[in-house]
Structure 1
Amino acid sequence: MGYKVVVVGATGNVGREMLNILAERQFPADEVAALASRKSLGTEVTYGDKTLKTKDLDTFDFSGWDMALFAIGSGPTEKYAPRAAEAGCLVIDNSSLYRYDPMIPLIVPEVNPGAIENYANKMIIANPNCSTAQMVVALKPLHDRARIKRVVVSTYQSVSGSGKDGMDELWEQTKAVYNPVKEVPPSQFTKQIAFNVIPHIDVFLEGGETKEEWKMVAETKKIVDPDIKVTATCVRVPVFVGHSEAINIEFEDFLDEDEARDILREAPGIMVVDKRENGGYITPIECVGEFATYISRIRQDSTIDNGLNLWCVSDNLRKGAALNAVQIAELYGNRILKKG
Structure 2
Amino acid sequence: MGLKIAVYGATGAVGKEMLTILEERLFPAEEVFALATRKSIGRELSYGDRTLKVKDAATFDFSKVDLVLMSAGGDVSRAEAQKIAKAGAIVIDNSSAWRMDPDVPLIVPEVNADALESRPKKGIIANPNCSTIQTVVALKPIHDRARIKRVSCATYQAVSGGGQAAMDELWHQTRAIYVNDPIEPDALPKQIAFNVIPKIDVFMEDGATKEEWKMTVETKKILDPSIKLFSTCVRVPVFVGHCVAAHLELEEELSPEEARDILREAPGLMLIDRTDEDDPMYVTPIECVGEFATFVSRVRSDPTVENGLAMWIVSDNLRKGAALNAVQIAEVLLNKGILKA
Count of residues in Structure 1 that have an aligned counterpart in Structure 2? 339
Whole-Å Cα distance in 2 between the matches of residues 302 and 2 of structure 1? 54
Question: Hey, what does 1:68 align to over in structure 2?
Answer: 68
Whole-Å Cα distance in 2 between the matches of residues 73 and 249 of structure 1? 32
Q: Which runs of 5+ in 2 are unaligned?
A: none
Question: Hey, what does 2:138 align to over in structure 1?
Answer: 138
Deviation, structure 1 residue 118: 5.4
Question: Hey, what does 2:105 align to over in structure 1?
Answer: 105
User: CA-to-partner distance for each residue in 1:43-93, whole Å, 9 max, x for gaps?
Assistant: 111111100001110011111311100011111112221121001100000
Residues 1:48 and 2:30 are matched in the alignment: no
Q: Per the alignment, do residues 51 and 339 of structure 1 end up closer, same or farther by CA in structure 2, a change over 3 Å counting? A: closer
Task: Specify the SS of the correspondent of 1:304.
Answer: coil
| Counterpart AA for 1:306 | N
Whole-Å Cα distance in 2 between the matches of residues 339 and 185 of structure 1? 50
Task: Specify the SS of the correspondent of 1:178.
Answer: helix
Whole-Å Cα distance in 1 between the matches of residues 159 and 339 of structure 2? 39
Question: Hey, what does 2:28 align to over in structure 1?
Answer: 28
Question: Hey, what does 1:193 align to over in structure 2?
Answer: 192
Whole-Å Cα distance in 1 between the matches of residues 11 and 110 of structure 2? 28
Deviation, structure 1 residue 261: 0.4
Residues 1:320 and 2:321 are matched in the alignment: yes
Question: Hey, what does 1:274 align to over in structure 2?
Answer: 273
User: CA-to-partner distance for each residue in 1:248-298, whole Å, 9 max, x for gaps?
Assistant: 001101111111101111000000000103541000000000000000000
If the length of structure 2 is used for normalisation, what is the TM-score?
0.97
Question: Hey, what does 2:234 align to over in structure 1?
Answer: 235
| Counterpart AA for 2:286 | I
Whole-Å Cα distance in 2 between the matches of residues 293 and 79 of structure 1? 33
Whole-Å Cα distance in 2 between the matches of residues 186 and 224 of structure 1? 37
If the length of structure 1 is used for normalisation, what is the TM-score?
0.98
CA contact (8 A) 1:146 1:253 kept: yes
Question: Hey, what does 2:285 align to over in structure 1?
Answer: 284
Question: Hey, what does 1:89 align to over in structure 2?
Answer: 89
Q: Per the alignment, do residues 192 and 2 of structure 1 end up closer, same or farther by CA in structure 2, a change over 3 Å counting? A: same
Deviation, structure 1 residue 336: 2.7
Question: Hey, what does 2:224 align to over in structure 1?
Answer: 225
Task: Specify the SS of the correspondent of 2:111.
Answer: coil
Let me know the Cα RMSD of the aligned residues: 1.2
Deviation, structure 1 residue 302: 1.3
Question: Percent same amino acid among aligned pairs?
Answer: 63
User: CA-to-partner distance for each residue in 1:187-211, whole Å, 9 max, x for gaps?
Assistant: 1111110000111100000001000
| Counterpart AA for 1:103 | D
Q: Per the alignment, do residues 238 and 320 of structure 1 end up closer, same or farther by CA in structure 2, a change over 3 Å counting? A: same
